[in-house]
């Protein structure tokens, strides 16, 4: 890890001692103890380790248990198969993965290397290169030989492009300042080498054509800087960073780099061409991620297929079978899908995951939650064994309840947390909470806020887009109709609509044709809609995590945003007042009116997020259907 020189000795000592301890322990402890939850034996690196880490520990609060029985849920339509728990169990982490990024060691930064050592090393390298060129020139005198040399050089530079970078390394002081500024904690298991973040795009050891994605950005976002080094080395990674912070590219770039470095076998039934799988909780998110990965891969002949429910299977099956348009040189190597449709196609024999060696769980806490757990187990057990697979998990929220389960699918992951390990909202989103005694006044409050936000009824101004979240689809529909009657250009996105209507509503909102979108929590996670100026929570969600994700639809990619939340304390809301109050305080906001509800925060158990299906709860009062 790159650290400030004055910290280096103490951390190095600690690291050595930790390594010794870990070795001792690993001989006697069962695999179960190798949890991703930081242990004494882990090398925990944070720029402001002493002060902030201890502050964090003392600040750590217990999460509340949501009374989901009171508000029973109905199965989310993204999930189609009730799977038996799969047989995949935590495998011993003895075998180390080997990938084609070994050359990266040449350019990886050693914070203990002095500047004179560095100069010497660079000089030697330069001399060596020059010698090779001169020798080659002497040997190859005729035109044919020159041509051959050129060919070899081109081949070599293409090879190197996949594993090295010509950019100068950041100094330990620069890295330390970067970690402090962004409040980044990196947990490096003792089996891994230290992580040195990439502070600029030139440092990325990827082929130049892949680097073109960076043209529209100034610099890597913090989560990209810190997860790219281990991910490109083939390590398992957990990346936790606020909403809208560029997590898609954090896993997308390593995914593509790996695909580029290992060309596919010719398409045939016996050897599947698909080696990369991204699992996402909603159809719209799967489509969005698929488009992002396809955009990165197209120039390399790499195609992706989005596999999701609510539409006919034929098109997806064709892509899975590599039946592309005539003359297409594309080969399908990536699946981005929702669990239900993936399992559906697997059971029909149309989707072979046996070649998957790069697996991403996007919105990982949601994917590991009880509602999806069985499906995910079944999907993961159909991919390559854990020791032959690289697994990455990303989310803005990472509750304790799913951490242990996550560890059973990962090999000694490097965990990068940008911000606090506790639940944190996007720091650029202003949070306003209004407590009402009577929920019947919500419509009037909503109309008042729309006027106060300066939203024009038929607005096509892209910057004044407002996303309104309801809890139930019937509620979303009612609010949509109310707003339409009031003369607003409004669309809706929820599970009662056909997939075509869902996509059309999203498209019209993105293009500015409608300035308002009323949605249920199917739109809460991952959707990257440009310039959403504000999010209004008409009804509070079922969990505090959903609140974090909902308000994260604004303030993305470094922009600022605003959220307005109506809170009545009815149903599940009462039990969430304490958690909401804590999230507000941690972000520098407050709502004294919340104090009239119990402020207790209970420990959250592995359960079901939001209005999603749980098969172990008997429906009692209300059905919540997206």
Ligand X SMILES: Nc1ncnc2c1ncn2[C@@H]1O[C@H](COP(=O)(O)OP(=O)(O)OP(=O)(O)O)[C@@H](O)[C@H]1O
Q: Does residue 295 touch ligand X according to CB under 6 A?
A: no
Phi first, then psi, for residue 126 (nearest 5°) are -65, -45
Contact between 249 and ligand X (CB under 6 A)?
Answer: yes
Minimum distance, C-beta of residue 212 to ligand X, in the bound complex (Å): 14
473 or 556: whose CB is closer to ligand X? Answer: 556
Cα–Cα dist 239/223, whole Å: 7
From 104-112, 215-223, 323-331, 577-585, give the range in contact with ligand X by CB under 6 A: 215-223
Short-list 474, 612, 479, CA closest to 541: 612
Nearer to ligand X, 198 or 472 (CB): 198
> How are beta strands 184-188 and 414-418 bridged, if at all?
antiparallel
526 contributes a contact to ligand X by CB under 6 A: yes
Closest distance to ligand X from the beta carbon of 559 (Å) = 9
**Closer of 69 and 219 to ligand X (Cβ):** 219
Q: Using the rule CB under 6 A, which residue among 76, 164, 203, 224 binds ligand X?
A: 224
338 binds ligand X (CB under 6 A): no
Backbone angles phi, psi at 332, to 5 degrees: -75, 115
Structure tokens at 485: 């009657």
User: Does 528 sit near ligand X (CB under 6 A)?
Assistant: yes
For ligand X, the closer CB: 516 or 527: 527
Contact region with ligand X (CB under 6 A), list: 238-246, 383-391, 532-540, 606-614: 238-246
CB of 217 to ligand X, least distance (A): 4
Residue whose CB is less far from ligand X, 396 or 497: 396
Q: Is 50 helix (H, G, I), strand (E, B) or coil?
A: helix
Per-residue DSSP letter, 298: G
Provide the minimum distance between the beta carbon of 557 and ligand X in the complex, in angstroms, as a whole number.
3
Considering beta carbons, is residue 430 or 434 the nearer one to ligand X? 430
Contact letters for ligand X, residues 543-572 (x by CB under 6 A):
---------x---xxx--------------
Residue 205 in contact with ligand X, rule: CB under 6 A: no
All residues at 6 or more sequence positions from 505 whose CB lies less than 8 Å from its CB, including other chains:
491, 492, 493, 497, 514, 517
Any contact of residue 243 with ligand X (CB under 6 A)? yes
* Binding flag, residue 610, ligand X (CB under 6 A): no
Which residues 6+ apart lie within 8 Å of 165 measured at CB?
A: 107, 202, 203, 204, 205, 206
Structure tokens at 445: 């409050």
Q: Which is nearer to ligand X, 466 or 601 (CB)?
A: 466
Tell me the closest approach of the beta carbon of residue 519 to ligand X, in angstroms. Answer: 14
Q: Does 244 contact ligand X by CB under 6 A?
A: yes
Q: What is the rounded distance in angstroms from the CA atom of residue 340 to the CA atom of residue 372? A: 9
According to CB under 6 A, which one of 207, 220, 222, 610 is a site residue for ligand X?
A: 220
For residue 301, state whether it binds ligand X (rule: CB under 6 A): no
CB 64 within 8 A of CB 604: yes
The stretch among 92-100, 242-250, 319-327, 353-361 that binds ligand X (CB under 6 A) is 242-250
Looking at the Cβ atoms of 162 and 552, the one nearer to ligand X is: 552
* CA–CA distance, 53 with 31 (Å, rounded to integer): 26
Instruction: State yes or no: residue 399 binds ligand X (CB under 6 A).
Output: no
Q: Which is nearer to ligand X, 241 or 518 (CB)?
A: 241
Q: Which of 43, 221, 572, 581 touches ligand X (CB under 6 A)? A: 221
Residue 584 CB coordination number (10 Å): 18
Long-range contacts formed by 57-63: CB under 8 A, 24+ apart: 59/420, 59/422, 60/421, 60/422, 61/422, 61/582, 61/601, 62/601, 62/602, 62/603, 62/604, 63/399, 63/400, 63/401, 63/423, 63/544, 63/579, 63/601, 63/602, 63/603, 63/604
Nearest Cα to Cα of residue 73 among 328, 351, 370: 370
Report the interface residues with ligand X, using CB under 6 A.
217, 220-221, 224, 243-249, 396, 526, 528, 552, 556-558
């Amino acid at each position: 890890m790159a650290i400030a020189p004055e910290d280096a000795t103490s951390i190095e000592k600690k690291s050595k001692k930790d390594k010794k301890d870990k070795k001792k322990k690993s001989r006697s402890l069962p695999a179960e103890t190798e949890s991703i939850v930081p242990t004494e034996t882990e090398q925990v690196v944070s720029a402001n380790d002493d002060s902030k880490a201890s502050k964090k520990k003392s600040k750590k609060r217990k999460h509340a248990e949501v009374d989901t029985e009171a508000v029973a849920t109905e199965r989310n339509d993204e999930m189609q198969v009730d799977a038996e728990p799969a047989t995949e169990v935590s495998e011993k982490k003895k075998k180390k993965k080997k990938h084609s990024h070994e050359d990266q060691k040449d350019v990886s930064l050693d914070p203990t290397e002095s500047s004179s050592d560095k100069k010497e090393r660079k000089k030697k390298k330069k001399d060596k290169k020059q010698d090779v060129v001169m020798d080659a020139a002497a040997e190859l005198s005729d035109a044919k030989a020159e041509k051959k040399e050129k060919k070899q050089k081109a081949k070599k530079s293409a090879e190197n492009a996949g594993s090295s970078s010509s950019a100068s390394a950041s100094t330990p002081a620069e890295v330390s300042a970067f970690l402090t500024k962004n409040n980044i904690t990196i947990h490096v298991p003792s089996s891994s080498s230290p992580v040195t973040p990439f502070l600029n795009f030139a440092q990325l050891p990827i082929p130049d054509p892949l680097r073109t994605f960076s043209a529209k950005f100034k610099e890597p976002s913090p989560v990209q800087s810190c997860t790219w080094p281990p991910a490109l080395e083939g390590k398992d990674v957990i990346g936790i960073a606020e909403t809208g912070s560029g997590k898609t590219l954090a896993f997308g770039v390593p995914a593509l780099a790996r695909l580029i470095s290992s060309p596919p076998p010719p398409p045939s039934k016996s050897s599947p061409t698909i080696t990369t799988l991204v699992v996402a909780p909603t159809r719209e998110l799967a489509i969005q991620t698929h488009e992002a990965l396809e955009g990165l891969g197209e120039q390399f002949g790499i195609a992706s297929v989005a596999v999701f429910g609510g539409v006919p299977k034929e098109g997806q099956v064709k892509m899975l079978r590599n039946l592309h348009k005539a003359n297409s040189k594309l080969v399908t190597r990536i699946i981005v899908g929702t669990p239900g449709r993936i399992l559906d196609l697997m059971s029909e024999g149309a989707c072979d995951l046996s070649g998957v060696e790069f697996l991403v769980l996007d919105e990982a806490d949601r994917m590991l939650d009880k509602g999806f757990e069985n499906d995910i187990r079944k999907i993961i057990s159909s991919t390559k064994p854990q020791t032959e697979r690289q697994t990455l998990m990303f989310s803005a929220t990472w509750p304790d309840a799913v951490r242990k389960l996550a560890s059973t699918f990962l090999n000694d992951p490097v965990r990068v947390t940008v911000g606090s390990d506790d639940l944190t909202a996007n720091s650029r989103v202003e949070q306003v909470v209004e407590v009402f005694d009577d929920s019947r006044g919500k419509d009037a409050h909503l109309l008042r806020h729309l006027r106060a936000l300066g939203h024009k009824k038929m607005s096509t101004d892209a910057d004044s887009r407002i996303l309104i979240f309801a809890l139930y689809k019937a509620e979303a529909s009612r609010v949509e109709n109310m707003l339409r009657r009031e003369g607003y250009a409004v669309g809706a996105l929820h599970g009662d609509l056909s997939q075509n209507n869902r996509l059309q509503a999203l498209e019209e909102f993105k293009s500015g044709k409608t300035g308002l979108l009323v949605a249920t929590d199917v739109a809460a996670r991952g959707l990257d809609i440009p310039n959403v100026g504000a999010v209004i929570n008409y009804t509070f969600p079922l969990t505090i995590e959903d609140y974090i994700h909902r308000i994260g639809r604004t303030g993305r990619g470094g922009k600022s945003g605003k959220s307005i939340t109506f809170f009545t304390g009815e149903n599940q809301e009462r039990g969430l007042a304490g958690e909401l109050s804590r999230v507000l305080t941690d972000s520098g906001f407050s709502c004294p009116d919340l104090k009239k509800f119990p402020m207790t925060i209970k420990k959250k158990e592995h359960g079901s997020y939001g209005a999603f299906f749980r098969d172990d709860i008997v429906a009692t009062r209300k059905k919540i259907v997206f």
